[in-house]
Structure formats: structure tokens, C-alpha cells
Chains A and B, each alone.
Chain A
Amino acid sequence: MSKSDKHNLPAPGRRDFLKGAGVLTTGAPLQVLGSTSQEPDNWQQPRRCVFQQMPYVSFDGTGESYSAPAGNKSTREYLDSISREEYLRRHWFI
């Protein structure tokens, strides 16, 4: 098992969604929002956006998106420098 395999947990529906959250928070159009009876006719291309660091859904797609980093890379070089066995020895508690 590689070091990254430890994160490949059984994935029910919500975890599948969270695995894709990096995409969904980049401003890609949302496919999952439930409809409401209040939707104006011009709602198109809804996207998750932020306003002064407060999240909201932009239904006309004109808002500012928040893009999550593609993972915390601050320990990447360290992890690459040690073996799987050494990783488990040092971080058995994880």
C-alpha cells in the first residue's frame, strides 16, 4: 500500500462528494443544488462563490470563486524522503 492509499477509505456518497470538493469550490457550475419554487427564470450556471470571505451561491455565475489548494503540500518533500515503513514508525499514531 502506498502512503497515499491510507486515505482511500470506503466512500459512501457524501465522501465521494467531499473528494470532489476541490473541483466544486473552484467555481465550477454546480450540479447538485436542489431546485426551489422560488427560482427566477434567469438562474443559470450556479457557482459557489465568496464575498469578503463569506460563501454563497452565485446563480448568474458572476461572483468571485474560492479555489481550494490541491492539498497541503508543505510536507510533500518530507514524505517523499522517507519509506513507507519509516513513515509508519514515525507517525504510528496517525
Chain B
Amino acid sequence: MVDFTNGPAPAGFMSPERFEADIFDCEVEGTIPKDLNGAFVRVGGEWLYPPSRPDDSPFSTDGFISSFRIRDGIVDFRGRWVQTPRFRNNLAARKQLYGVYRNPYTHDPSVRDLDKPYLATVANTSPLAFGGKLYALKEDAHPYEIDPNTLETLGPWDFNGQYKAQTFSAHPKIDPVSGDMVCYGYEATGMCTDDLWIYTISPDGNVKSEVRVKVPYVSTLHDMVLTQKYFIFPVYGYVTSLERLREGHLHWAFDKTAPTYWGIIRRDGDGSDARWFRGPTSVVMHTINAFDDGDKVIVDAPISDGNPFPFFPQLDGSPWDPVAAQHTIRRLTFDMAYNSDSYTVDILDPTNVVDLARVDDRYNSIPYRYVYSSMADPSQPFDRERAGNNRAVNTYFRFDVQTREWRKYFVGDTHSLQEVTFIPRSADAPEGVGYLIGTASNFADMRTELVIVDAEEMNELARVYLPFRHTPQVHARWYSNTELPLQDSPLPPYTGRRQA
């Protein structure tokens, strides 16, 4: 018997929906630019069955992938579960077999698989298109390949056996200069191992290089940055151990005494040159960009001084600190010409922003100008009678790291936005010329809306209405029809019977 009444959201906007959906020719207000031909792909999760323990993380929710296929100003929507072994095992048992976040010791014995923790992945974090294939990612397992048109789960992929790490990050980077993908796995040889394996993979799917390094301590390596010379990895705050897992805890706890390390590793080396720079406690769950400046390495990221995830407990048992969880855009400078293990930090602006920051991906790893993300702008109205007494992320912004200029787009007085994505208007358009795209939750009308915004003027061009509230995403990306083999029709040709 399925019973969500003790779950984290038994009712309301965030309660599980649990259905797959196809909406052909969605309702559109405004005009979708005719030059948009591709798919806005979202990956997130929700509970197929309620969590086995109330303290579990929302990051344990079953993966769900959805696509807004846009072409000639029309939109077709599709949403499907990512059918991982975990999803199928639960469905076969008609109950939740799995315990808390990335802790197989808490799973039902029938699915415990202590030596293969990746079998419990939920593939709920991020989409990836590379080499004409689409994947759903989570950092505790290999990527799960997804049919880009039907969203059918095709299974885990190891690049023809060339990718050896057990895990694959949700934030690989595509080098816009070479076209290669840089990806990595942490805890690469098993639970709580200090192995970080870094791969460079060419668009044809072949591994060009593998670099193996050890990290200063086992922590989340959720995201990284790239320059043309270096791989750059932050290690920060979250800690784990086999002892901790055997005691039945969630995979991560936050140690507010743990230093931050930044590993800088040559892309053309074997890992023996790795340098670890040490700084004060911080969290760098997501990055913005990085580039080389002579002997210096410049890294931009939204950084907090404490634990941004309230469901990962403080190691010392203290309450979660929402002030320390706030993010500001910071610039870190590493001088590779000196042997010092320190670095400088400049807060580019004191504004509290959502850390899901993006750039024009054509500028990954090279000097750039614009950061895009979202924020809760308190100067904008919120209709609490219609939308509830909530804090809303109501604004997308563009921040110019050269001039420090802000430009903003306000989504509406009953809405809360999710991660933004930048789409260049054309392959050779200047940086920043294009569109912003992302979904908004309309708390009043209980539905999800896709907004498309001019990225320079920051005015809305079109809004696509789903007739329901859709599964929350973690990350989303835009992929053009040149990056994925997208079909024009949402349905395959009809092959059934016809009346004569």
C-alpha cells in the first residue's frame, strides 16, 4: 500500500505526481523565436515510493527526465521516469527497498550490493548530450543513456569499456575549443575511496586520456572547472566514512572545521603535478567558469561559507545555519608561478544568489563576461493570498563580471524559478546574444511554465504552459537539433490498422 502521508510532501505543490506525460503542441503565450530548434531537457526526481526514513535527502528521489521539444515556434512536452535498477526493483517489490542517501548498509538485504553501490543510483541530477547521445547523470554511477526522442532508458554507458571509474560526475565540461568532454568520477574505486579519476573523451566516444589522483579527504566533488591548461577541483566541507555509513547515516555530514582545497592539475599531464591549494571552510557545490591569465588561474564560482544543504546534517550536531548557506559570486586567483598553497578570494558582489549559475557554454574554460543565475528579489511583489506565504526565486539575472552591471527579469508574482540556461542565438553570435530559458512553478495556478527571455534586454518573449505542476528539476540544459538527433514529430509513423 502506497502511503505518502508521512512523506516530506503529502500535499501541495511539491507532492509527488508519479505519472509520465506527453503533451503535444503545448499552450504558448507570446512568440517563440523561430531560430530555436532543439530540446530543453530537465532531469530531477520525485518519490516513486515514499522514502524509507523521514530524514532521507531529496537527492534520493527517483530520477525523472523531461523534454520540451521546440521547433518552428511549437512545443511538445514529454516526461519519463529514468528506469534504473533501483526504480525497477522497487516497482517489482511494490515498495521502497532502499535506505538513506548513498548508504547501502541501510538498504533492504535483497538490494544491498555493498561492493556495487552504483546499482542503487537514481540518475536524478543532470542531463548531458555528447557525441549525439543523451544521458541522465548522477555522481554515484555511470551515465544512463536515454533515447533523446522517446526518453526511453537505454541503460548505463561506460564508453565501450574505456571509462574505468565506478562513478561519473553530474557536471562534466565540454571544451569549446577542442570539442572534447572532460568528465570524472570521485570515490572512483568504491564507497568512501579517495580516488579521483579524470577522463578526456572525444566526441566519437573514445577516451583520449585518463588521470588518476588522490584527494586530500573524501568529499563531494560535485562540480569542477576547466581552463585550457588545467583541471580544477574544489574539495570542501562534506565528509563521509565507512564507519559513518555502517552506523546508518546519510552519506554526507558537513564538517564546519574542514578546510577547502582546490586541486589544480595539468590537462596534458599524468596527475603527478597536482597541486592542492588550501583555504578557509566554504562550499563550492557549483562553479561558474575559469580561465588562464598568464601564470595565474582565475576561478569564478557562487560560494557559501557553510552548508547549503539543510538535509545533510552538521557533523557536530549543531543546527543548520541558513545565513552561512547564502552564496555570493566570488573570484579566486591562484598563482601557479609560486609555491605557495594559498589563494586570494574577491567577492565580486555581495548579493545573495542561487548557486545554479551558468555561462554561455561557448566560453567554458576561456575568458568570458556574463554570468546567469537566479535570485529572490525582495523588491518584487509576491501574491501571498494566491500563492502561499513563500519565499520565491522570482528573478533571473545577468551579471557582467567586467563592469559588475546587473540586468534582471522578473517572472511573476505567484512564481518561483528553477535553474536558467543560456542559448546563443546562433553558433557565431557574440557572447550574451541569445535567450534564457527555464521553468517556473506557478504556485497559484498549480502548474509549471517554461519561460523564454531575451538574454540582452531581459524581457520575456514567450511562455509555455503545462497543464500540471511538473516534477522539480535539479539541472536542465538546452540541446539544439545539431547536438542530438531530434525528430520533428513527437510520434513515430503510424503502423496500426486502418479502416478501409
Contacts and interface: CB of A to CB of B under 8 A. Distances in A.
Given A56-B58, A66-B388, A14 B3 contact: yes
Contact of B385 (A46, A66, A73): A73
B6 A34 contact: yes
Interface residues of B, number: 51
A74 interface: yes
B331 to A, nearest CB: 24
A21 B115 CA distance: 41
Interface in B413-448: 416, 418, 441, 443-446
Interface in A31-66: 32-34, 36-43, 46, 48-66
Contacts of A57: 8, 54-55, 311
Contacts of A40: 313, 317
Contacts of A48: 8-9
Interface of B is mostly: loop
Contacts of B496: none
Contacts of A43: 55
Nearest to A16: B5
Q: Which of B58, B100, B322, B443 has the most CB of A within 10 A?
A: B58
Nearest to B472: A53
Interface string B318-358: 01111000000000000000000000000000000010100
B8 A38 contact: no
Interface in B264-288: none
A17 B309 CA distance: 28
Contacts of A24: 10-11
A55 B58 contact: yes
A53 B388 contact: no
B53 A36 contact: yes
Interface in B363-405: 385-391, 393
Nearest to A53: B472
B356 to A, nearest CB: 8
A13 B56 CA distance: 25
Nearest to A33: B54
A33 B320 CA distance: 20
Nearest to B8: A55
Contacts of B54: 33-34, 36, 46, 57
A69 interface: yes
A48 to B, nearest CB: 6
A17 B15 CA distance: 14
A49 B388 contact: no
Contacts of B8: 48-49, 55-57
Contact of B386 (A51, A62, A73): A73
A74 B444 contact: yes
B480 interface: no
Interface string B461-485: 0000000000010100000000000
B388 A18 contact: no
B459 interface: no
B411 to A, nearest CB: 13
Contact of A51 (B13, B311, B356, B446): B311
Interface in B131-177: none
Contacts of A25: 9-12
B5 A32 contact: yes
A56 B61 CA distance: 11
B317 A67 contact: no
B190 interface: no
B30 interface: no
B441 A67 contact: no
A62 B14 contact: no
A54 B320 CA distance: 17
Nearest to A61: B319
Contacts of B56: 56
A69 B313 CA distance: 30
A21 B12 contact: yes
A79 to B, nearest CB: 16
A22 to B, nearest CB: 8
Contact of B320 (A32, A58, A73): A58
B45 to A, nearest CB: 8
- Closest 8 A/B residue pairs (Cβ): A21-B11, A55-B9, A54-B58, A55-B8, A67-B388, A67-B389, A68-B12, A60-B319
Interface of A: 14, 17-18, 21-22, 24-26, 32-34, 36-43, 46, 48-69, 72-74
Interface of B: 3, 5-15, 44, 53-58, 61, 100, 248-249, 309-311, 313, 317, 319-322, 354, 356, 385-391, 393, 416, 418, 441, 443-446, 472, 474
Given A55-B14, A72-B444, 12 more contacts: A21-B10, A36-B53, A37-B248, A38-B100, A53-B14, A53-B416, A58-B311, A62-B310, A62-B320, A66-B13, A74-B386, A74-B444
19 contacts: A17-B10, A21-B12, A22-B12, A25-B12, A32-B5, A38-B100, A39-B55, A51-B309, A54-B14, A54-B58, A56-B56, A60-B320, A61-B319, A62-B319, A62-B321, A66-B12, A68-B13, A72-B445, A74-B445
